[in-house]
Amino acid sequence: MAIFNVTPDSFSGDGLLASPAAFRNLRQTAVERAERFVAHGADILDIGGESTRPGAAPVSAATEIERVIPVITALSEHLPDAIISVDTYKAR
């Protein structure tokens, strides 16, 4: 499983939104990362839009959706056979 933290404040420091300019390149960065992960054997691409680091401010469901949808779309277009999961506690 490969983890995609689509946050500016990821606990592990690898958030895809680590800088304000990162959103412009989000889709391309996610696809490049996913291709590397799949090449190394990842069978599930897990996408999270809210940081779980200690002290992180919660985000709304709308913000979480805003963050993960571009990544889900890009990955499903470029890696149509990949299994994609979403890490959230706000599932509806």
Tens of each residue's pLDDT in the chain, 92 residues: 999 888 877 666 566 666 666 667 888 888 999 999 999 999 999 999 998 888 888 999 999 999 999 999 999 999 999 999 999 999 87
Q: What's the rounded Cα separation, in Å, for the pair 75 and 35?
A: 9
pTM over 0.75: yes
Q: What's the rounded Cα separation, in Å, for the pair 57 and 66?
A: 16
pLDDT value at position 47?
A: 94
Q: What's the rounded Cα separation, in Å, for the pair 8 and 68?
A: 13
